[in-house]
Amino acid sequence: MWHGYARTVNEAWSGGGYYPQNIFRLLTRTKWQNIEQEVYFKILKVNTSQNSNRNESNGVLLFSHYQDADNLYYGGIRVDGYAVIKKKVEGDYHTLAYEPVYTADAAYHRDTNSNLIPEVDRFANTCNQ
């Protein structure tokens, strides 16, 4: 089901619909003020594609104060291990914060080390330290 939907919504970013996790947006239709967002997630497996849209800015990102596709804020954890907060105004992104939170033995690289966000087994060891 997701394959067909992801392919029709954004074929390029979802690897032809086979990697729908590359773009998943959940937006509300109501306007909020002074909101808090929280998400819990587990990475069970990293499925990479050769899609040219897959890069270090992918990750787990939350949109906030969404007006339209060209005017919004977002924050989250990127696959290169950085936490980021950005705002997009009239289509242009502006970085408000950018800090490393995850590191690995090897730096992020699209083809050899494509995700520094800990997977389930690595995350469990990190939390128990």
d(CA 123, CA 33): 33
What's the pLDDT score for residue 9? Answer: 61
Is 6 a domain residue? no
d(CA 58, CA 3): 19
Is 15 a domain residue? no
Is 20 a domain residue? no
Let me know if 80 is exposed, middle or buried by CB neighbors in 10 A (0-12, 13-18, 19+): buried
> pLDDT digit string (tens) for 9-25?
666 666 666 666 655 66
3-state secondary structure of 1: coil
> pLDDT digit string (tens) for 52-61?
777 888 888 8
Q: CB pairs under 8 A, 24+ apart, for 101-110?
A: 101/77, 102/77, 108/56, 108/79, 108/80, 108/81, 110/54, 110/55, 110/56
> pLDDT digit string (tens) for 75-105?
999 999 999 999 999 999 999 999 999 988 8
Short-list 47, 63, 49, CA closest to 12: 49
pTM for the predicted model, two decimal places: 0.73
What's the pLDDT score for residue 25? Answer: 66
Is 105 a domain residue? yes
The average pLDDT across 96-117 equals 91
Kind and range of the H or E element at 59?
strand 59-68
Is 36 a domain residue? yes
Domain ranges, residue 52? 27-127
Let me know if 57 is exposed, middle or buried by CB neighbors in 10 A (0-12, 13-18, 19+): middle
Is 3 a domain residue? no
Residue 2 pLDDT exceeds 60 = no
The total domain count for the chain is 1
Is 21 a domain residue? no
Is 73 a domain residue? yes
